[in-house]
Amino acid sequence: MRISRVLLGVPLAAVLAVPAVAVSASAQTAAASGAHYVALGDSYSSGDGAGNYGSSGSCYRSANAYPQQWANANAPASFAFVACSGATTSDVLSSQVSALSASTTLVSISIGGNDVGFASVMETCVLESTSSCENAVAGAEAKVASPLPGELDSVLQTIRKDAPAARIVVLGYPDLYDLSRSSGCIGLSTADRTALDQGADQLDSAVAAAAARNGDTFADVRSQFAGHEICDGSSSWLNSVTWPIEESYHPNASGQELGYLPVFSSAAG
């Protein structure tokens, strides 16, 4: 470090503030290494679409998923990765929250997309007409309005009951399409893409509101994914229609590492 050049002309108060920043960063690292972390949720948390699933079967838990990458980087005191592709709020309650305990200090979760029929909406939009796609999205948005808020509350309240000391980070979903490039992008019509992005925004608003109602942290990934959506070519962090088909319309390995991981790391504190 060229300390003399860097500090030349810098006010004394700014110089004295530097050690405080270093201490804060060290304290954050220490807190992460002592964390008891449980990763809950659906395919956007399990890493479906990012490859390298090991022996997780239909849950598609990827070694590239943001929970696993965060655990690798921070070496928490304990780590339970139970997010599963296809999970709904009822699945979280029936088969995932058992991983929580009074000693859990950090929880991540993405949930809600499957409750409103994400997979069936995408299937309709890919295989049928624009009007069918827009009707399917409208049907999903109706479920976002009701009953999803109550279902989200039930999940978050159960997590709080089972892990009373935990920081609960509720992650949202990215918009799928860069609409500014839709005119030169093969596949769905711009009308379909616009409806799907608007549906994702409605879902994120409901998830954010649930996190706020329950005193939890909402982590919005949309701005992080901006410019890296479908229609952004080789810089896209999201799969379009791909094989295996289950990976379609999910973050790829870059989306997990560069999209979800930084947002979660910031929110985890």
What are 248's strand-pairing partners? none
Does a cis peptide bond (omega within 30 degrees of 0) precede residue 164? Answer: no
Q: Where are the domains of the chain?
A: 33-268
What are 161's strand-pairing partners? none
- What class is the 33-268 domain? alpha beta
With contact defined as beta carbons under 8 Å apart, do 176 and 221 qualify? no
According to the model, what pLDDT value does residue 32 have?
80
What are 80's strand-pairing partners? 38
Those residues whose C-beta lies under 8 Å from the C-beta of residue 39, and which sit 6 or more positions away, are: 45, 65, 67, 68, 79, 80, 81, 82, 83, 107, 108, 109
131 catalytic? Reply is no
What's the chain's Rg over C-alpha atoms? 20
Q: What is the pTM of this model?
A: 0.88
* Catalytic, out of 45, 85, 250, 265: 250
* Catalytic, out of 43, 85, 108, 265: 43
For the chain (269 residues), the mean pLDDT of every run of 10, in chain order, is 31 36 43 90 98 97 98 98 98 98 98 97 93 96 98 98 98 98 95 98 98 98 98 97 94 98 97
43 catalytic? Reply is yes
